[in-house]
Structure 1
């Protein structure tokens, strides 16, 4: 059984950096995001780690874990929302007090997806893969990103629906050298390209299963650890039900992507899998003519399941809010290149 938190109006948002903090040159972006959350009616409790960054992480692993654990245990906090991802969240996994986590949401993506998946697998608590805090700093949110709030305020037993976006971005607007100017922008994303979802079969696709996933670059490192036992999670929390995997590639070429997916398969992660959905990727560099589409086709044929790709997930926003543990129903139209995603909290 999956447990679903409920974000209440006026709840406190805990902001901590279990991966990367924010460089001083970009503090204006973080301050803007915090003010925006407060304007939306939330109280914000910020930790020390969000303001520091040294040697690819916000702070030593123990300090990051201690601050995260305090927020995970604090009943006053309804949502833990890091400023963004990073590189070395893996260092804190062994120090998290999984049994002490309260009924609250965790939201984020990139390196944060490693934390999300580990928490869901080890506790049965639903977690939310979606926007990060810094990307909520603008006064205008696109419709796809804005769905995070509806998702997190959906009660257990309820449902919410999303549709594929109309446009996506290929280049980030914020840079350290123009952070002060950027902090006043009405919208955060530069949505210039028409969104087109695709299926490897070239036909309409319907998918149903419980969602699990994240950034492949980092979640693959759960394999073989006490924190990545997908089989035990399935047997305890969703016996007999299929998994619908959503995955995205941040930095890997296609050979590394293929190796990672084969490792997941050999580790049993894709047992009783109803399908896979891959997010748009800024990487996916072909190796020897071996393309991302070739990778998806090989996996689809090996597992005998449908594969969708170029979906709204990951490092080329906007992205859907996808709930680890939720039952999802996906309807994809090949002719239109669009899809609807219904998530049910049961």
Structure 2
């Protein structure tokens, strides 16, 4: 069975940087996030790696892994939220102690999603794809992002419902954050292939496709073994978000994922809004989605609240989800079973 951690009141948050840390000139962001979480009743335990950044990483791989392992083992740390993503989390995978890992929430996205998926696949512990710590520093939190607490507080065999946002942020304006950090200026619309109202169900797995496809062929990306051990015969809903890839880059990754068997018994494939998806010649992202739907005979739901154009719903790797899209609006019901 999937093991689900649970967020308790006045929890202690372990802040470690398994990928990128916060450079000195941006320390105010980390301090602001710590203070804001304190106002909300949380204690933050900030590791050394969160304060440093050089050569595209917070620290050498083994140091990053040691700090992460220590926070996972530390019974006084209730959940782990990295400051943000980065580039080279893959370097620490071989040093992570998956065998002795207790059930503890890890929340994040971008490069951190590689850690999330690897943990769930190798331990059967649910992990949470969603906001990072730095984006929780606002005076207020938008209603979509604020659901992180409700989702992580859901008990075993219980359900939690989230809805698509009303508006999303198209462009990051770091110098002019709003009271809820994001500049929500564009109307949210979830779209589908085939076009129309859609309902799907299955176990959620996914993350930032730029990085998680690199798990294929490694000991940390054995989806077949995970399925056999934890969710035998159950369909999977894959969710992806594209940070930097062109449409042909994306297409290559999706073909690789298919050839690796990750799409066996898939019931739907979801894609977050993306700042990338640059067309190559006349090969557009809509062409990628259409080809994928035809190949696997499953619905594609895209431009969902997931990834680098916030806000984000909280998607739990391992949870059973029922997802509806009606007239451009989305509803996600996750069951912790």
TM-score by length of 2: 0.99
Residue 6 of structure 2 is matched in structure 1 by 6
Q: Secondary structure at the match of 1:113?
A: helix
> What's 2:331 paired with?
340
| Residues 97-134 of structure 1: CA deviation (Å, up to 9, x unaligned) | 00122221000000000000000000000000000000
Partner of 1:61: 61
Q: Hey, what does 2:130 align to over in structure 1? A: 130
Contact residue 198 and residue 308 of structure 1 kept, 8 A: yes
What do residues 146-183 of structure 1 show as CA deviations (whole Å, max 9, x unaligned)? 00000001111111000000000011121xxx4xx75x
Q: Within 2, Cα distance between the matches of 1:65 and 1:74?
A: 14
Return the alpha-carbon distance in structure 1 between the equivalents of residues 156 and 179 of structure 2: 34
The aligned residue for residue 190 of structure 1 is: 183
In structure 2, the residue matched to 1:277 is: 270
Residues in 2 aligned to 1:279 and 1:119: alpha-carbon distance in whole angstroms: 22
Q: For residues 294 and 145 of structure 2, what CA distance do their matches in structure 1 show?
A: 33
Task: Assess if the C-alpha contact under 8 Å between 1:74 and 1:102 holds in 2.
Answer: no
> For 1:172 and 1:29, how far apart are their aligned partners in 2?
15
Give the corresponding residue for 2:224: 231
Deviation of 1:288 (Å): 1.4
Whole-Å separation in 2 of the counterparts to 1:325 and 1:102: 16
Which secondary structure does the structure 1 equivalent of 2:146 belong to?
helix
For residue 13 of structure 1, report the CA deviation from its aligned partner.
0.4
- Whole-Å Cα distance in 2 between the matches of residues 103 and 125 of structure 1? 6
Q: Is 2:247 aligned against 1:254?
A: yes
Unaligned runs of 5+ in 2: none
Provide Cα deviations, 1:214-261, integer angstroms capped at 9, x if missing partner.
Answer: 000000000000000000000000001000011010000000000000
- Residues 39-48 or 120-129, more deviating: 39-48
What does residue 153 of structure 1 align with? 153
SS in 2 for 1:283: coil
RMSD after superposition: 0.8
Report the Cα distance in structure 2 between the residues aligned to 1:219 and 1:40, rounded to whole angstroms. 33
Shift of 1:76: 1.4
Q: How many residues align?
A: 337
Task: State the 1:285 CA deviation.
Answer: 0.3
| Shift of residue 213, structure 1, vs aligned partner | 0.3
Counterpart for residue 301 of structure 2: 308
Gaps of 5+ in 1: none
Q: Deviations over 1:66-124 (max 9, x none)?
A: 00000011111111000000000000000000012222100000000000000000000
Structure 2 partner of 1:88: 88
**Aligned twin of 2:34:** 34
Displacement of 1:20: 0.2
